[in-house]
A and B are shown apart, each in its own frame.
Chain A
């Protein structure tokens, strides 16, 4: 059996784009996400279109027991892996004070705990005859302290630092770790409204998911440490590291507030594209 590419968050907008990209390269896949039904639809379509083997199992990655079951299952199946793409992650819109304790826990568990554990466990099942590659989906938000997205941005910062450190630590073990740091991506009607609300600035920092997936895989194959899609986003990141974090936080905060009020307006008039 060929070794597999493991993709979490496979049935989301970015996840699907990564699945297609990998399948198009002829790679066999193991997919996971919350809903079994969406996984089976996607798996069937990938198999039909690209003639690859696609395995899947649903799992609530925020749940410790569910993760344990998933890892047991993967071992039982005797799967081995040469690539792990950690896409599962989430954000709750709105101010910190309005979050519930359960939302806080869910986000930290998914964005941080699940990603770290997946990396830990899947690496144990690696195909030792090949380079093992990991892609962690962070965000451009990892470069700035972001008011109103405080938890999200810092969870992504965690992933960025984790990826960079791990990459150094495992370099001699033929493991490469790449962090993807995209700006907004138009995956859902909600994201599209958010991008539209930022107007021109939103649109030019936005990259299509198909493009992002293809170029991220290329970057990972080249062993790059970080991939930021789009030239402008690279510049934004550079600006973020030149200006003191307190100032960045203030600028981001005020921009966010104006976008938020515009978005409330747009939300009611825009048609849903999907």
Chain B
């Protein structure tokens, strides 16, 4: 049987790490991505402590840079090749960040937009050929309930003039749902078997709100996150979508606690999804078109 290969971004802490642990304990082959060598080494150790036979590797990349994202894809291909593998079954785009400040990335984008959305958009594009080699190719984006009650701010997508941490964050989580919905549509019409899902983790007790924040945002998160569920809970839903054949049978996009939910109505608008897709292509300097064929070069 083919080895089941899983890529998880943001696997060095929080939901990503919990997911890596659960999947690893099922004996799957995992490549985790993080930005800090130290935290990745620590995460790897934790996984090995749970499962001494874990097939897990960590790769380092700062997902705020598109160049690093494409370099990461290169590293992933290399790592797989070293282990005699030529496919990816599941890509879990989980890495996410919150920033109190408008920070401009090396590409000139706002940090949250770059890490939470553009990195997913670009990495998925880069890894699509490998996902096509799997019989059960799956892309999962870790979105959030904060995608409800917001929209894309077309006139100033990166909110340069009216940046607000939460507004920016909500928009990126909406971007995740838009991306997964549109990806699904495009894959389907191209006759490609890959499935795309968005996951709503609920409120989870992680440190995400403490890392790039200060002042009130940080204080609020310190208090609020305590009432969140442990990261194992969303990890379980992600694991279920990644491994359960039944999950692939539905046409539902948006999942929470292993059940489908309706995502916001705005996120299901075809015109919005298409327009946002084109914008994302321009911003990340790619065109999916050429990769949207069911034909696989051998």
Contacts and interface: CB of A to CB of B under 8 A. Distances in A.
A and B bind: yes
B67 A186 contact: no
Contacts of A42: 106-108
B101 A11 contact: no
Contacts of A17: 102, 104, 108, 160
A125 to B, nearest CB: 25
A210 B285 contact: no
Contact of B160 (A21, A41, A206): A21
A203 B282 CA distance: 34
Contacts of B65: 41
Given A16-B106, A20-B104, A274-B212, 6 more contacts: A17-B104, A45-B108, A45-B109, A208-B163, A209-B102, A213-B160
Interface in B141-176: 158-163
B106 A211 contact: no
B270 interface: no
B110 interface: yes
Q: Which of A45, A46, A196 has the most CB atoms of chain B within a 10 A radius of its CB?
A: A45
Nearest to B158: A210
Nearest to A191: B101
A34 B101 CA distance: 25
A42 B285 CA distance: 12
Contact of A210 (B100, B110, B215): B110
27 contacts: A20-B108, A20-B160, A24-B160, A41-B67, A45-B108, A45-B285, A48-B285, A49-B108, A186-B100, A186-B101, A186-B102, A187-B104, A196-B214, A200-B215, A203-B214, A203-B215, A208-B163, A210-B110, A214-B160, A271-B210, A271-B211, A273-B99, A273-B101, A273-B211, A274-B64, A274-B111, A274-B212
Contact of B159 (A49, A186, A210, A213): A210
B97 interface: yes
B192 interface: no
- A-side interface size class: 20 to 34
Contacts of A211: 102, 160-163
Q: Which of B107, B159, B210, B214 has the most CB atoms of chain A within a 10 A radius of its CB?
A: B214
Contact of B103 (A21, A46, A273): A273
B283 interface: yes
Contact of B97 (A20, A44, A195, A273): A273
Interface in B205-252: 210-212, 214-215
Interface string A24-66: 1000000000000010011011101100000000000000000
A13 interface: yes
Interface in B57-100: 62, 64-67, 97, 99-100
A46 B66 CA distance: 13
A175 interface: no
B212 A273 contact: yes
A45 B66 CA distance: 9
A41 B64 CA distance: 13
Interface string A192-218: 100110001001001011110110000
Nearest to A192: B101
A42 to B, nearest CB: 6
B161 A38 contact: no
Nearest to B214: A196
A265 to B, nearest CB: 14
A137 interface: no
Q: Which of B108, B159, B210 has the most CB atoms of chain A within a 10 A radius of its CB?
A: B108
A271 B212 contact: yes
A115 B70 CA distance: 37
A272 B294 CA distance: 42
A48 B108 CA distance: 11
A157 B138 CA distance: 58
Given A44-B285, A273-B99, A210 B214 contact: no
